[in-house]
Chains A and B, each alone.
Chain A
Amino acid sequence: MSGGSSGTDGDFELNIAPIVDCFTVLIAYLLVSMSFISLGMFEVGVAASGDPAQAVAQPETPPAVPLTLSLTLNSSNAISIHLTGGPTHLDQTTMIDPKSSGYDLDLLKTDLQKLRSSYPELKEVNITAEPAVKYKAIVKAIEAAKTEIPKAFLASS
């Protein structure tokens, strides 16, 4: 890649060999430094931990209990869906049995879809797991839950 010479007949000839040299170096640098895997992210909150605040005085009428949806991932690949609170003081638990390849996330999505259509006010889900459950399974559960419920929280206690 040697440089060219300037023209003698008045025509200007741009010496592009050094430009090509620079381009070669830049392309090599970009190819080496660029990442070939595409990273994405999930936004999750950390569910509140610690002891609940003690009430100073009991109000005459108890406050409305919000509807709470919790998912628990068991180490046996089963998922427990627990729905509590609401105006009717719900306390219902649904178990999703494991399938041969692990957690049945398709059934989880279907169940969450049904719950969402029955309780449109349901906008948050708390996700927790048994200590031995792997992060990969938790992420898959969050992914499945977030297709139906807009906000997910991970329990820290």
Chain B
Amino acid sequence: MQKMFKKSKKPATGEMALQITSMADIFTIILVFLLKTTAAGISSVSPNGGMTLPVATGKIIEKDTLTLEVNKDSVLVDSKNVLSLSNFEFPLTEIQANGISQSLYTRLIEQRKHRPDADRSSELLVLADESTPYSTLKTVLASAANTGFVDLQLVVVQTD
């Protein structure tokens, strides 16, 4: 790129000229690198603040899927708060006889209607805090399964 531009002459005065073409070269390389890195990543999935995902080796997330987040204080579907939890515990009135959460079930049904592939979509991206007890997770799983989301993708912090 440097050869494309006319080289600036050294000024006769005592002022120092900034070699802007070299800077442009460096910036181009950094920009290409960053754009490539961003494109390869999964920028669409980002856990909310305060959540610690478990660490494991996992596959790369390839497509946009409905996300369900479980943290200490709340359950979110598509980044929207569905219900509040008290230290990972569902409110007692929330759990139905078949083990599902009524609010979560209703929200997932609504979300299913809005998905482009409403009839076939069975995938759900689950982001849960690593301290979530299985009792809470079970309620979430039961609610998801009852709305047809049976293929779960558990999001983890990837290791080598």
- Residues of A whose CB lies within 8 Å of any CB of B are 1, 4, 7, 11-14, 16-17, 19-20, 23-24, 26-27, 30-31, 33-35, 37-46, 48-50, 73, 128-136, 138-140, 142-143, 154-157
A112 to chain B, nearest CB (A): 17
Q: Which residues of B contact A46 (CB under 8 A)?
A: 141, 144-145, 149-150, 152
Chain B binding site: helix, strand, loop or mixed by DSSP? Answer: mixed
Q: Which residues of A contact B61 (CB under 8 A)?
A: 39-41
Residue in B31, B42, B141 whose beta carbon sits within 8 Å of that of A26 in the complex:
B31
CA–CA, A26 and B60, complex, Å: 26
Instruction: Please report the number of residue pairs spanning A and B whose Cβ atoms sit closer than 8 angstroms.
Output: 164
| In the complex, B155 has a CB within 8 A of chain A | yes
CA–CA, A23 and B33, complex, Å: 12
CA–CA, A157 and B142, complex, Å: 7
Interface residue total, chain B, C-beta cutoff 8 A: 57
Q: Contacts A135-B54, A154-B152 given: A14-B4 contact, CB under 8 Å?
A: yes
Chain A binding site: helix, strand, loop or mixed by DSSP? Answer: mixed
Q: Which residue of B lies closest to A46 (CB)?
A: B145
Interface segment among B78-86, B102-110, B113-121, B123-131: the answer is B123-131
CA–CA, A13 and B42, complex, Å: 41
CA–CA, A139 and B9, complex, Å: 63
Q: Which residues of B contact A130 (CB under 8 A)?
A: 134
Fill in one digit per residue for B146-160: 1 if any A CB lies within 8 Å of its CB, else 0: 100111111111100
Residue in A23, A33, A139, A157 whose beta carbon sits within 8 Å of that of B138 in the complex:
A157
